[in-house]
Structure 1
């Protein structure tokens, strides 16, 4: 199976990312919407008083840690995630928040951002080694980003993501990690409904003329902190089946937010 640059959607997600998780073990590690929340737009509005943004150091302490989600390994993501928004560019400004969300970067205007990766730990449930290369890549890896905002910055960031889902429904061009990809379709999807508001969406990415692959992203706000979740499974890219964001990961991460 050819692994297109489309697999790097929104993050510099490469095959080496999963190889690193499997070989070195440095990477450790959605449910239904609540009520009548619209999964493709902010699920609720908050009138909570403005709070100061958390620092990067404070956000790092809120990221999921090893042992907090059973069956998953948590890693730093340092070798796979872009360091700044300058490394992730789109050809439509209104699509930037979507691309940043998939790259575990802040979807809004803030410098307070932290991220890591959470991957399935199949070794914890089975002792057998992968039978072939494809089996070795059959792991869901979720990239998690946390960002914090002053005043109503978090609400504005959520609106930008929601607006982007609509404005970018016809797709957009993406440059990340030195490679170009084409998102051919963006559509709202059913998310977890957690936090004060949430937006979930899917993106179809052109696989260099060999069909397309679908990826899911969810953005959740709790207070003035936003969590982004993006999951990829390289073994499933040619199957036409999209990797779902693990509900356990979203629930555990949102529960840690203040």
Structure 2
């Protein structure tokens, strides 16, 4: 794997302050950019289970207790999303309204109409394998340090059939936005060139998985994967970034099944 110093700086910046703006705007001479959209696929499946017209949304404080916490997923560490995810939908804009739910889902935001939304991030824990000092770190150690999956997890809750409507909005968006869309976040613009149904882990009562191909400032493309899963009147969103893949302009890889399974296990 060959990575220029620009890519290293981009990845370092992303790890240090992984905001959507940095992922979207972190560009360099080698084209290491974008963390808002991406590549390949989206698959949806559903069951007959419904959240029910009398369902009541959980408060955000209740949702916080249902988010994955440290120790819930072996081999992963959990951090709050305060410094890594957009604070509200108002800072995430697309050029096609039908694509908004996709953009929101990839940013840990509620894909449907609700104010009950919380998020955090779950990343591969490589601390035990890391060198104890920079003097001990070789090229392989540096490259390996970037091979970390970080998954943005969002939970949102809805009254009535709001959760089902949110799922439909995502599913419809995958179809409507197949040819791509433009995304602007924190003043930086990304271009998603393709959206497609993906094969996901699934689970819950209803699931939609999709991938997006993102233009890396004309320096190739990168593919990102997301899953949106409903359990009752709660919707969980998952979106994974792998920092090593930025330098390669490649595929970020699927959302880790362990993360999805653990999160769904905590939902009522």
Structure 2 residue 44 is matched with structure 1 residue 41: yes
Q: CA deviation at 1:149?
A: 0.2
Q: Distance in 2 between matches of 1:131 and 1:218?
A: 36
Q: What corresponds to 2:80 in structure 1?
A: 76
- Is the CA contact 2:94–2:182 (under 8 Å) kept in the aligned structure 1? yes
Q: What corresponds to 1:256 in structure 2?
A: 266
Q: CA deviation at 1:17?
A: 4.1
Structure 2 residue 231 is matched with structure 1 residue 222: yes
Q: Please give the secondary structure, in 2, of the residue aligned with 1:255.
A: helix
Q: CA deviation at 1:127?
A: 4.5
Q: What corresponds to 2:251 in structure 1?
A: 241
Residue in structure 2 matching 1:186, options 191, 195, 203: 195
Q: Please give the secondary structure, in 1, of the residue aligned with 2:138.
A: coil
Q: What corresponds to 1:19 in structure 2?
A: 16
CA RMSD after TM alignment = 1.9
Q: Give the stretch that moved more between structures: 235-244 or 90-99.
A: 235-244
Structure 2 residue 164 is matched with structure 1 residue 164: no
Q: What corresponds to 1:98 in structure 2?
A: 102
Relative to the length of structure 1, the TM-score reads: 0.84
- Structure 1 gap segments, 5+ residues each: 8-13, 22-38
- Is the CA contact 1:42–1:162 (under 8 Å) kept in the aligned structure 2? no
- Is the CA contact 1:43–1:193 (under 8 Å) kept in the aligned structure 2? no
- Is the CA contact 2:51–2:163 (under 8 Å) kept in the aligned structure 1? no
Residue in structure 2 matching 1:176, options 185, 207, 210: 185
Q: Please give the secondary structure, in 1, of the residue aligned with 2:57.
A: coil
Relative to the length of structure 2, the TM-score reads: 0.81
- Is the CA contact 1:196–1:222 (under 8 Å) kept in the aligned structure 2? yes
Q: What corresponds to 1:51 in structure 2?
A: 55
Q: CA deviation at 1:233?
A: 1.1
Q: Distance in 1 between matches of 2:130 and 2:51?
A: 48
Alpha-carbon displacement from aligned partner over 1:98-153 (angstroms, at most 9, x marks no partner): 000000000000000000000100124x2535535443322110000000000000
